[in-house]
Amino acid sequence: MELTETARLLTTLISVIGTFTVTLHYLNQSRKIRVELLKELDEALAQKSKHRVCEIFRLIYGLRMSYSNILRLLDDDKVNILTYVLYRTPGMVTFSDGAFQYSGLFKKTWWHKIDTFVNKTWGLSSILIIVLSCVGMIFFPGVYFAPFFITSIFFTLLFALSLRQTRYTEMVDDLVTESSLEQ
């Protein structure tokens, strides 16, 4: 039996809607589970159950930390930012004894200089390629417009990612500096 184009379109549409619905359902379920885990974490903190606090904290944030460090982290006003940074950059930064600090290779100043140089070089070269692509779109109309347009879109996205990474690195530097000043 051969399907008509309309039947194929309807089948595809139903599949997309079904996939979207199932995805939303599972996202909502994970949010409910996270809320339940947060309630359990509050109860475990109230009961001062060390093992339970550590395990629930690991399940929620994906971070393995000692009980005392978890208490210090949760008492900090910037707990959301700190947990986000610790989760996003494992091995780069640590939170111990109430201090937020770089670890391993990331303690070296030359590493930060190289990272800054690469990010800024990437951003500036992206801007240069975007400008050249815009000039190409102006001077090469017709069929040649498309490659210049696609190149400009691609490097605009790369430039945005470079800016985002630079801002994130500056935020981590500020957190480490602020933490070292507090001690």
- Asked if residues 83 and 63 have their Cβ atoms less than 8 Å apart, the reply is yes
The token duo for 139 is 């001077």
Residue 19's pLDDT is 92
Residue 105's pLDDT is 83
Which whole-number Å values give the CA distances from 117 to 66, 120, 123, in the listed order?
36, 5, 10
For residue 3, pLDDT beyond 70: no
Distance CA(79)–CA(103), nearest Å, equals 19
- Identify the residue with better confidence: 143 or 38: 38
pTM (global) more than 0.95: no
Instruction: Report pLDDT digits (tens) over 121-176.
Output: 999 999 999 999 988 888 887 788 888 889 999 999 999 999 999 999 889 888 88
Which whole-number Å values give the CA distances from 166 to 61, 88, 97, 129, in the listed order?
24, 14, 28, 19
Q: Regarding beta strands 93-96 and 99-102, do their DSSP bridges make them parallel or antiparallel, or are they unpaired?
A: antiparallel
* Neighbour-count burial for 62-86, b at 16+ CB within 10 Å, e otherwise: ebebebebbebbeeeeeeeebbebb
Average pLDDT over the chain, rounded to an integer: 87
Establish how many alpha carbons lie within 13 A of residue 174's alpha carbon, considering only the half-sphere containing its beta carbon: 10
For residue 1, pLDDT beyond 60: no
